[in-house]
Amino acid sequence: MKQPLFKGAATALVTPMKEDGSVNFERLESLVDQQIIAGIDALVICGTTGEKSTLRYDEHVKVIEVAAKAASKRVPIIAGTGSNDTVYSVELCEDAETAGADAFLMVTPYYNKTSQDGLVAHYSYIADRVNKPIIIYNVPSRTGVSIKPETYARLAEHKRLVAVKEANGDLSSVATSRYLCGDKLDFYSGNDDQIVPIMSLGGLGVISVLSNLLPKETHDMCEEYLNGNIQKACEMQIKYTGLINALFSDVNPVPVKTAMNLVGMDVGPCRLPLYPMNEATLSNLKEKLRECGFSL
């Protein structure tokens, strides 16, 4: 059995920007500290929510370094190092490790994509060449490829492939994957609307967008479930459903950064091609924030 990287909630942290679009490293440090003080269990840096796709290589590594120093080993720092270029991923992992990453989050290859055999070859090639554990990230809505349960079973045999961030939305597939992998691969929800459902299938928690806004509450939802308070966890999942839906009413991380700015968390704009929300989706987001007790 592999050692879990974390149990509970990990925040897929936004990358705060200044108005000119440059990274706000000072604000990044304070966000990391606030998240940890609020009880979050791990931090994912430079994932989709962290706008990895528009960070230059030097920025990418520096964001990981600044976050790791700010965290100061209080929680695991999981660095987004996935790519559709296998060799590039290895190089980025090496620099991320030097920068202080404790583990890597690796999305499936996108655009050029690959076969199921290609996925095994891709992840195995990287895992053979890095020193830190890897979380596989399956998000077919963005990448155009989905990992099959039988492929997870093959990947689970590698000692450094330790977990999955599952965002395929298919609970039946998750159940089959859990059946085939047993205790060789941990599962985390990659969708905030499926935290409790995936935990009910043996998942250990979530890698969350919601927790940028509500770190304590997201942590508590997972903790309640892990402590056997299933009804309480279910109530929390339902309570935040409206806000979760609003946070995904436009392309992530546009809504969550908008929400954070609305409530005074000052994370700045998204980089193009991400674009501000339209009036209808913005109005709904404001309504759901108020429903959850935020003052705008």
Give catalytic residue positions. 137, 165
The phi and psi torsions of 47 (rounded to 5 degrees) equal -90, -165
Q: Are 199 and 187 in contact (CB under 8 A)?
A: no
Full 3-state SS string of 132-147: CCEEEEECHHHHCCCC
Q: HSE-up of 168 (CA within 13 Å, CB side)?
A: 22
From the list 247, 108, 237, 81, the residue with the least C-alpha distance to 167 is: 108
Q: What are the E-state strand segments in the chain?
A: 8-12, 42-45, 77-80, 103-107, 134-138, 161-166, 186-189, 205-208
∠ at Cα 20 (17, 23), nearest 5°? 30
From the list 97, 95, 122, the residue with the least C-alpha distance to 108 is: 122
Distance separating alpha carbons of residues 136 and 156, to the nearest angstrom: 10
Dmax (CA) for the chain in angstroms is 50
Distance separating alpha carbons of residues 144 and 176, to the nearest angstrom: 21
